[in-house]
Structure 1
Amino acid sequence: MIVAVIDTGVREVPELAGRLLEGKDFTDGVAGEHDEAGTTAAAVIAGTGKGAGGRESAYGLAPGAKILPLKVSDGTETPDSGERSIAVNSDLVPAIRYAADSEAKIISISVTAILSGGGAVNEAVIYALSKGKLIFAAVGDSEFPKRPVKNPAAIPGVTGVAALRKDATALKSSAVGPEVTLSAPGEDVLSACAEHEGLCTTSGTAVATAVTAASAALIWAKHPDWTNYQVLRVLLNTAGAPKSGAVRNDYVGYGAVRPRIALKTPGDSGPADTYPLPDLVETPDAQPGVGSGAGATTPAAFAETDHRGTAFLVSLGVCAAGLICLAVAVPLLIADRRRTGLSRP
């Protein structure tokens, strides 16, 4: 499986040796303050554990995957929020289209923008879906009480991913809204460092998005004949749902990704050509073969939104076919004590 990682750059750390494909830089030399932050996401997905530290090296959830690094700006080169969104969106359009035309089946987007970017970004998303791609994007992080979902996660057809704490509740800084589709571990996740060698801990929706993309890679590798819609449907139907009994809520969507469950008992993957969520059905410019028209299905039933925070039964264990899972703090992922001792803030 090939995963396109759209972020501020990926550094060639030892754990990613042999995993990185030749990517592309869309920044024109202006990358913002968090250059190479995509290293963390890439290692969470495909880290081989074969770094200089031996067992104290970063393992990814899908170490058999390969990464297509696509470098974009996070907009931090400008203090103005509107200009920041323009910078992000101007890079996202060609990056998404490049990924759509590549051999990557999964697109993982870590950067966020407050403004939507208009039709150009939406059209890029529709184009990628028409090419059979599965798109995940971080819903965004904020310390403010009101934290609506940012773009491109808010765009119909993009699977918005929220972050979970170690106790399986929503991370306080994770964005909230009806566009949240899935959630994944996002607190103190162990991975390769973006700025130096060794292990670092990372929190937020960007790393949660990487975990979700890796989960999709495992499922798709096991079922190569499935379409993007079928892989997403299985992720939705096997997610650890809210304890409140609601089908979904605005904090964690349909629930936490559970690749171990999805690999072992995926259930009915459903129709190959029907988008499993209702957001694209009402999109005016939705095209045939991209979830348009009547008959779009939902996981279980699309119930009303529950706005309360909830905890989840998260199970993210041994993956498949001898693959070694991502090391993350208990109870969400298995963490080696020696690695924990070496992790940096």
Structure 2
Amino acid sequence: MRQRTVLISGAGVAGSTLAFWLVRHGFRPTVVERAQGQRSSGNPVDVRGTAVPVVERMGVMPHLRAAATRVPGLTFVTATGRRIGPLGLGRPSGDALEVPRADLARILYEAVRDDAEFLFDDTITALRQDTDGVDVTFERAAARRFDLVIGADGLHSGVRGLVFGPEADCVRHLGLYIATMPLHRTAADPSAVVMHNIPGRSVAVHPLHGEAGAAFMFRGPAIPGFDHRDAERHKKIVIAAYRDGDWDLPDLPDLPGRVRAATDFYFDAISQVRLPTWSRGRVSLVGDSATSVSLFGDGSSLAITGAHALADALAATPDDHEIALRAYEKHHRPLVTARQRGFQLAGALLVPSTNFGITARNLAIGLLPRVPRRKVASRTGS
């Protein structure tokens, strides 16, 4: 039997996981990644639920445990400085882990880097498919032909744009933006995520192995001409969003100055991808390119689970990609739909739009059981 070739666009969580399992199933994957290498930072994400047995079978669980953060819960700070929490909502338990996104992507990449071909600092510029394969044009590498092409290249997927149409036709802005950056100092409270709110805006300080990271979430309409790669404009947008209100925070003094000086700054709109199908011919999508959104960090778990489901489906019918891609979507779409439905609740919890909403949220949380710090620390090994 001829060894099937699969081009994967994106060397992140979904792309590396898919490459790993395709190799195990006898395929020959090539991964193309626009960046010059793996990112060195990132906000924490969860590996939980059906993703746990997948990473265990990949043999990377010991590495993930070593990289995991050890934060028991989420603490809200009121306008008077009173703390409410910590709240365990969305925090991992049992075998689930919270891991910085960059560490998760790196560990998954290292698990397959010696078995699959990786093309860094390159991207796909054109795709032309027929009944037998896909001709791919790259920005740098010579053109090649593959049996299948998979877009694992995130919310702003280039593969999706080439095959499924303009981003505006399939990505819906959900009225929220998020920005993250490291603070390059020790976290003032290494035992909790600490969140401050005013209507429509929040700032959270998250300890990552003792080092502080900041996350900004705020409400706003879609920005005309938004370019997800324009970091300088992103900083101006965040500074403008936080110009009003009392943000003289002990965890984050001189907020505008720190944003301007940040060298590792992530910003994007929180959006939801809506496609009637994730596959067209010999091209399919996995991870955020097909499935978004989560405000509780479990998008990475969906990416791992989806990549594994896709590899299994292709292995089940290697000579019939149409049956395989339909089976992948039938299996994975219900999990995605369930996660996407939780967006409104997550947004109301993390970024209430009014003072009344903040007060109601704080009162409701004040009635919930707290996370026992000592018990959580012993469970996570800290």
TM-score (norm 2): 0.25
Q: Which has the higher strand share?
A: 2
Please say which structure displays the higher CA radius of gyration: 2
Higher RCO, 1 vs 2 (CA within 8 Å, ≥6 residues apart): 2
